[in-house]
């Protein structure tokens, strides 16, 4: 690491610390997503933020932190707010810091993720991907997912110890998305390694972790382009062939767009579901009456997934940029400010959900925001629900007496996607 990069990091830390201290002095509470205690249980803080200062002026975020359901939903559905980080007024300064640290420009050479683009670019990419990532393509994986659940659980017997993440919750979705894309089985181990590394490029991380994640992203993208070239020569019934063939009024995905989209599908199709299975099962284990209900009536499991997403979904936050000066509930918004949308906090808003801190697997019409809202609603929502349903059905029907082992749960440090990295069960 260069001396300039080290100095940048020190200055950034001092700047952030000063801004957080100023926030706390001003409103009695400060938004700091890096707090370690927010990994294990962030909900008390989200509740305090929602009750004390729901439209919170954050100097650290250079904008506002929104934690009420109505505000978060409204911003997600309003095109006056941009997903494109280049519309943030301090983007040029942030980009210069990234480049000095040896990180890439995330929008260079058509690399921009569909998650971070606005219409018409987002609409164009979404329409092309929709032609390949269809409900039929997802449903076609049901039998394979059922078989994989059986395969992963077969080595275990009642009373055995299982490390949920490595033994089950991670291999299930990463194998499914690899097979959907058409990755050869011999390359699944490499694919899983890249998947674990890519997540380091998301959220607030050290420069070293960000570099590691970007390196994996580049390697994975090049690998997938090689597979795509094979599909052009010899098409198959897989998602990658569908993406290669996708066309909208004569428009196709470029190679960079194809690689970036595949990486996005990997992260969304693997990391999010891994954490959803782990968070959901942990919520059930900590609410034994709800766990007992699903064990007694496994047919309820599919209907419980949206409540598990609401109660403790993996996605903690997202952001939007203000495109024009305006007002939100009496607060003046300035063009270029960032709005940090606390999705996990909004999902426990008592204005929207009765007894929001209570897990209720019989709750109906759970209109949560865990999978987004509006134009950027999660493309893989159907796949996430299917995999989570089959995973919980497999675990609870085979091991109805499963419990947490007497070992501490290890939590990941990612500020956007929250979930355990190690969680030992006694089956």
pLDDT of residue 292: 98
pLDDT at 274 over 50: yes
pLDDT at 199 over 90: no
What would the two tokens of residue 57 be? 């002026």
Of 132-141, 172-181, 267-276, 397-406, highest mean pLDDT: 397-406
Is the model more confident about 328 or about 204?
A: 328
pLDDT at 49 over 90: yes
Q: Which of 164-173, 221-230, 362-371 has the lowest mean pLDDT?
A: 221-230
CB 136, CB 180: distance < 8 Å:
no
pLDDT at 6 over 80: no
pLDDT of residue 3: 46
pLDDT in tens, 329-354: 999 999 999 999 999 999 999 999 99
CB 220, CB 194: distance < 8 Å:
yes
pLDDT at 290 over 80: yes
- CA 133 – CA 176 distance, rounded (Å): 13
pLDDT above 70 covers what percent of the chain? 91
Residue 11: pLDDT band by 50, 70, 90 thresholds? very low
Residue 13: pLDDT band by 50, 70, 90 thresholds? very low
| Domains along the chain with CATH numbers | 3-426 (1.10.630.10)
State the sign of the Cα–Cα–Cα–Cα dihedral 220, 82, 413, 377: negative
pLDDT of residue 36: 84
pLDDT in tens, 123-167: 988 888 888 888 888 888 899 999 999 999 999 999 999 999 999
pLDDT of residue 112: 63
Task: Enter the pTM of the model.
Answer: 0.90
pLDDT of residue 152: 97
- Which stretches of 133-209 are assigned E, i.e. beta strand? 161-163
pLDDT of residue 245: 87
pLDDT at 2 over 50: no
Q: What's CA 402's distance to the chain center, in Å?
A: 27
Cα dihedral 206, 201, 421, 139 in deg (nearest 10): 170
How would DSSP label each residue in 187-239?
Answer: GHHHHHHHHHHHGGGSSS--HHHHHHHHHHHHHHHHHHHHHHHHHHHS--SSH
pLDDT of residue 110: 60
- CA 207 – CA 342 distance, rounded (Å): 24
Q: At what angle do helices 188-198 and 255-285 cross, to 10 degrees?
A: 80
Mean pLDDT of the chain: 88
pLDDT at 5 over 80: no
Q: Which of 187-191, 205-209, 220-224, 270-274 has the lowest mean pLDDT?
A: 205-209
pLDDT in tens, 250-269: 778 888 888 888 888 877 77
- CA 9 – CA 97 distance, rounded (Å): 9
């Amino acid at each position: 690491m260069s001396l300039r990069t080290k100095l940048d990091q020190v200055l950034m830390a001092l700047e952030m610390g000063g801004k957080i201290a100023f926030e706390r002095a001003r409103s009695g509470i400060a938004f700091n997503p890096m707090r370690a205690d927010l990994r294990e249980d962030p909900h008390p803080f989200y509740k305090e933020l929602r009750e004390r200062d729901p439209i919170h002026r954050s100097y650290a975020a250079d904008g506002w932190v929104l934690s009420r359901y109505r505000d978060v939903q409204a911003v997600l559905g309003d095109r006056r707010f941009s997903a494109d980080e280049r519309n943030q007024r301090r983007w040029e300064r942030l980009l210069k810091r990234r480049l000095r640290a040896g990180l890439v420009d995330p929008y260079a050479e058509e690399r921009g993720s569909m998650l971070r683009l606005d219409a018409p670019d987002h609409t164009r990419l979404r329409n092309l991907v929709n032609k390949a990532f269809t409900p039929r393509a997802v449903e076609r994986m049901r039998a394979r997912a059922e078989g994989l659940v059986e395969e992963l659980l077969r080595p275990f017997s009642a009373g055995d110890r299982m490390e949920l993440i490595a033994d089950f919750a991670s291999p299930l979705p990463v194998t499914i998305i690899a097979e959907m894309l058409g990755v050869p089985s011999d390359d699944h181990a490499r694919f899983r390694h890249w998947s674990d590394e890519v997540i380091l490029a998301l959220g607030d991380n050290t420069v070293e972790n960000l570099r590691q994640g970007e390196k994996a992203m580049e390697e994975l993208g090049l690998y997938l382009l090689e597979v795509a070239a094979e599909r052009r020569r010899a098409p198959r019934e897989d998602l990658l062939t569908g993406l290669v063939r996708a066309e909208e009024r004569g428009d196709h995905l470029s190679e960079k767009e194809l690689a970036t989209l595949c990486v996005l599908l990997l992260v969304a199709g693997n990391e999010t579901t891994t954490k959803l299975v782990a968070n959901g099962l942990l919520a059930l284990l900590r609410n034994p009456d709800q766990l007992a209900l699903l064990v007694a009536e496994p047919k309820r499991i599919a209907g419980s997934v949206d409540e598990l997403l609401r109660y403790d979904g993996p996605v903690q936050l997202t952001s939007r940029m203000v495109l024009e000066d305006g007002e939100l509930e009496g607060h003046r918004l300035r063009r270029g400010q960032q709005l940090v949308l606390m999705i996990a906090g909004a999902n426990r808003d008592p204005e929207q959900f009765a007894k929001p801190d209570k897990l209720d697997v019989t709750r109906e019409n759970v209109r949560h925001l865990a999978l987004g809202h509006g134009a950027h609603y999660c493309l893989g929502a159907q796949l996430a629900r299917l995999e989570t349903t089959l995973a919980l059905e497999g675990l609870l029907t085979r091991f109805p007496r499963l419990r947490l082992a007497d070992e501490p749960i290890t939590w990941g440090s990612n500020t956007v996607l929250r979930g355990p990295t190690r969680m030992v069960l006694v089956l």
